[in-house]
Amino acid sequence: MSEYDFDLFVIGAGSGGVRASRMAAASGMRVAVAEDRYMGGTCVNVGCVPKKLFVYGSGYSESFEDARAYGWEGQGAHFNWATLRDNTAKEVARLNDIYRNLLSNSGVTVIGGRATLIGRHEVRVGEDTYTAEKILVATGGWPTVPDFPGSEFAITSNEVFSLEVFPQRILVVGGGYIAVEFAGVFAGLGAETHLSYRRDLFLRGFDKDVRTFTRDEMGKKGVQLRFNHQVTAIEKQDDGSLLVRDDTGDILVVDAVLFATGRNPNTKGLGLEKLGVVLHKDGTIGVDDNFRSSVTSIYALGDVTGGPELTPVALAEAMALVKHWQTGKTAEIDYNNIPTAVFCQPNIGTVGLTEEEARQAGITVEIYKSDFRAMRHTVSGRDERTLMKLVVDKSSDKVVGAHMVGPDAGEIIQGIAIAMKAGATKTVFDQTIGIHPTAAEEFVTMRTPVTQ
């Protein structure tokens, strides 16, 4: 008989926590998971899933306009915010139930409430205390708003999906995935949309061509871009609108201000410091290659450890961790060539090195690019273009980076990522017969390098 209530106690039922719980239970471990908010974590509730549904919803305005060029006639459509908001909430609720059932059907004990660590093998939830041989912290991240006059009037991605009234005018602040995506969403839904970023160009870390191309395409879609711009104060007006002041003294009046300026690891109040768990300056938990913290019974994975903040990464880490427990072998995670997508409009898909990263690494590169108008817009007349780019190591002929801005970029790049993971060379790309007519075939028909 074990001296502990559970073999594994997981704090946080997000993507990584749920996957680790289910796999551990399937391997025969007695598992409990505690969650104080919602099943499925950020991705299911206030991240990937509702965001992608909002992106779909915001794309219909252009589709209705383009349909006329294809012979569809009729009255223009009217957007109803409550319908999109409420239908999205229903889908999220459905997924919450699915996650809860997945855990229960796997034999995992689900405990509702905020868990805190009170010992190396002890967790408290409410008035109850549980013991476990291993404790896994998978609490993810939490959006932050910097402190400035009126910052309490700003909203984050946590609140944006449930707004009571659709903002006819909105200012989105930030330069990463979330900011760029929501600027596109609200513009597509018909709001007067402004995007504020404190540097000269958003999406830092992406390929420079991708960043500039996305900037131009977003501008065409009506997003008013404000670079080198800093919000200094927000003042609520008598009519409920928000007066926003910036560092130049200019004023902008909007109905909502969405701050998407970063997320902090959700580690406060867990009791980690009291137990001697090493935390980095940014609040992330320090772990070794097997996701073990400085306290040998406590593990952590996902966003809370400061790695790539992507749901599939948390899932992969969870599987690697449970396999490590089963076999005793080092958890193997390859963080190279992780594909990712930004669901702005048009979408961004990317995998591997940017041109800048490749050159900084001392690689002699060949660059292949294609910038074209997609076939559907030759009839619709819409001034939207697609960018595709390959970064090739000239000495080995290996494709070390692939980047796209255009419809379904994420779907296309996923297949390219498999090829790159398998070590595909540019010659292999050239020998692959394309599917015609598609945008994706451009990746296998680019023959002449634009730079070397």
Q: What positions carry a catalytic annotation? A: 436
In terms of Cα–Cα distance, which of 329, 328, 327, 198 is closest to 261? 198
Contact present, 158 and 143 (Cβ < 8 Å): yes
3-state secondary structure of 361: coil
User: Quick one: tokens of 47?
Assistant: 């991240």
> If you ran DSSP here, which 8-state letter would residue 304 be given?
G
Contact present, 443 and 388 (Cβ < 8 Å): yes
The answer to whether the peptide bond before residue 437 is cis (omega within 30 degrees of 0) is yes
Look up residue 139 and give its amino acid: T
Please, what's the b/e burial string for 7-46 (b: 16 or more CB within 10 A of its CB; e: otherwise)? bbbbbbbbbbbbbbbbbbbeeebbbbbbbebbbbbbbbbb
Alpha-carbon span 230 to 197, nearest angstrom? 7
Determine phi and psi for 247, rounding to 5 degrees. Answer: -75, -5
CA distances from 439 to 109, 413, 443 (A): 48, 12, 8
Alpha-carbon span 201 to 199, nearest angstrom? 6
User: Quick one: tokens of 98?
Assistant: 């699915």
Contact present, 420 and 399 (Cβ < 8 Å): yes
Which pairing describes strands 6-11 and 128-137: parallel, antiparallel, or unpaired?
Answer: parallel
SS3 content of the chain, % helix, strand, coil (to 5): 35, 25, 40
Alpha-carbon span 384 to 188, nearest angstrom? 14
Please compute, for residue 328, the number of CA atoms within 13 A of its CA located in the half-sphere on the CB side. 0
